[in-house]
């Protein structure tokens, strides 16, 4: 697998990840939109009325398409009706409470009057009233003193279900819009990965690409993984939880560190890195094998002969005392720094 193929695999992996995230956000957004829409509909479709006849007509129209809201609220169902006072002004309405056990309570409640005192607004969602309750409610109205004809005229044809908080519906919709914006951001990232701008942007932060041409297929050690560079550049492929690149020319010290298992570290002008390679079988990052380490050391020595390769106590002491002084010394006085004798230009590393 050449480096170009690995980068293409990286692009495809990022695109899949961003697409999955975008679809998840879209799915959650639709859920919030549905919840918010139901809450808002129950508010926006609430009728305003002036006469009882208008209430019946309005509630009949509202019941269409809203049957899915016919659920219990704290095991209590509600219906409402109203009657006229003098001058046809609504003075009050009767509310019936029917719990899950069928117990029934009817009470007179003052109507909610608007400022003009001629318009009442009863909020809620209207749903079909169970037919077996119709006669029972009529009898209750008659016991309250209404005649049978008055009870029949006043009998509501719909249940009244307490509405959700209006603000809650708009909050859900606002959250859904934010999720959609986040989804659009990840879709934009997909396009950036597709045209290479995302990776190019990351590479551009590393400085000018060296003109040295590296042909991976002609290196002294046959490489099974694209751990070294992009063909035509001198970038080493690194990873510490995410894909990173650094120029080989920025390396000032490279050494192998043993703790539980081998690790290969690069001290660069910017910071310390833990060098890893891509395993094309598992498609995950893993530690470097000896052959890849040797090839990297060869390449570093070839491109940056002033860099220190190998670990010595003297080098470690110099680096620990002053990192900045150490880096400057390597960069400006490379001839005075002894390269670790364990490194062989033929690709052997002891």
Mean pLDDT by 10 residues, the chain (350 residues): 46 79 89 72 40 32 26 35 39 43 44 39 41 63 74 52 50 84 86 64 39 30 34 47 60 62 56 48 45 64 73 75 74 50 32
Q: By C-alpha distance, which of 158, 140, 157 is closest to 148?
A: 140
As a CATH number, domain 208-336 is 2.30.29
Q: By C-alpha distance, which of 49, 47, 52 is closest to 66?
A: 47
pLDDT at 127: 40
117 to 44, 52, 249: CA distances (angstroms): 21, 15, 84
pLDDT at 268: 65
**Backbone φ/ψ region at 75: left (φ over 0), alpha (ψ -120 to 50), beta:** left
pLDDT at 332: 65
Q: By C-alpha distance, which of 208, 212, 181 is closest to 25?
A: 181
pLDDT at 106: 45
Which single residue is written with the structure tokens 């560190």?
Answer: 257
pTM over 0.85: no
Pairing, β 120-121 against β 251-259: unpaired
* CA 67, 69, 75, 79 torsion-angle sign: negative
């Amino acid at each position: 697998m050449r480096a170009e193929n690995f980068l293409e695999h990286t692009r495809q992996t990022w695109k899949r990840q961003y697409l999955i995230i975008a679809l998840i956000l879209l799915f959650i957004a639709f859920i919030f939109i549905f919840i918010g829409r139901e809450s808002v509909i129950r508010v926006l479709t609430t009728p305003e009325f002036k006469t009882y006849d208008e209430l019946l007509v309005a509630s009949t129209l509202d019941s269409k398409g809203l049957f899915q809201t016919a659920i219990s609220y704290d095991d209590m169902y509600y219906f409402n009706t109203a009657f006229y006072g003098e001058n046809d002004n609504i003075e009050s309405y009767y509310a019936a409470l029917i719990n899950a056990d069928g117990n029934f309570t009817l009470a007179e409640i003052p109507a909610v009057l608007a400022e003009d005192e001629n318009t009442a607004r009863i909020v809620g969602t209207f749903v079909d009233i169970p037919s077996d309750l119709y006669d029972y409610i009529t009898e209750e109205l008659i016991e309250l003193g209404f005649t049978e004809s008055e009870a029949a005229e006043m009998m509501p044809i719909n249940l009244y279900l307490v509405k959700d908080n209006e603000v809650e519906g708009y909050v859900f919709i606002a959250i859904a819009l934010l999720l959609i914006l986040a989804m659009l951001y990840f879709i934009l990232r997909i396009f950036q990965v597709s045209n290479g701008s995302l990776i190019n942007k990351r590479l551009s932060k590393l400085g000018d690409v060296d003109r040295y041409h590296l042909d991976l297929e002609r290196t002294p050690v046959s490489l099974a993984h694209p751990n070294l560079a992009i063909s035509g550049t001198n970038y080493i492929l690194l990873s510490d939880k995410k894909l990173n690149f650094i120029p080989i020319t920025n390396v000032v010290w490279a050494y192998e560190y043993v703790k539980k298992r081998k690790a290969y570290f690069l001290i660069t002008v910017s910071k310390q890195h833990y060098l890893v390679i891509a395993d094309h079988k598992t498609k995950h990052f893993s530690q470097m094998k000896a052959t890849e380490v040797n090839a990297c050391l060869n390449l570093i020595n070839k491109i940056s002969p002033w860099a220190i390769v190998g670990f010595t106590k003297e080098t470690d002491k110099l680096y620990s005392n002053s990192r900045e002084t150490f880096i400057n010394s390597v960069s400006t006085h490379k001839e005075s720094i002894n390269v670790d004798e364990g490194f062989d230009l033929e690709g052997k590393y002891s």
